Amino acid sequence: MCTSIVEIVRAEGMAKRADAWFPLTQAVVAYDHARHAPLGDVITLDFINTGLDVGARAGVELTLDAAKDLLAALGRAIAAAEFEEAEVRGKGAPQAFRTKA
């Protein structure tokens, strides 16, 4: 059964295929049958450049638990990076890190 669960977002960055890097234009997050991993349904992450050939793609298939762990790790890394950026650039800590006086 296909789930039709698909989210597409703009992506700015780089991905690697074989031994060459290419710029990204979007990321696709989906939940469906695994195509390559020996698993059932998975979260699939596809990083692509729609202006390049079909091979301009980096794909990942994750179990739901692995996807949840990745989401939590991304949240922690983003929060720490925002704090670091605020400290380095002198903008003060983001609202989430400010303490009440």
The span from the CA of 43 to the CA of 68, in Å, is 10
The span from the CA of 34 to the CA of 60, in Å, is 10
Buried b (16+ CB within 10 A) or exposed e, 56-95: bbbeebbeeeebeeeeeeeeeeeeeebeeeeeeeeeeeee
Mean pLDDT of 30-55: 90
List, for residues 3-29, the tens digit of each pLDDT value. Answer: 789 999 999 999 998 889 999 999 999
Instruction: Report angle CA 50, 52, 54 to the nearest 5 degrees.
Output: 80
List, for residues 90-99, the tens digit of each pLDDT value. Answer: 666 556 555 5
Look-up: residue for tokens 């692995």? 66
pTM: 0.77
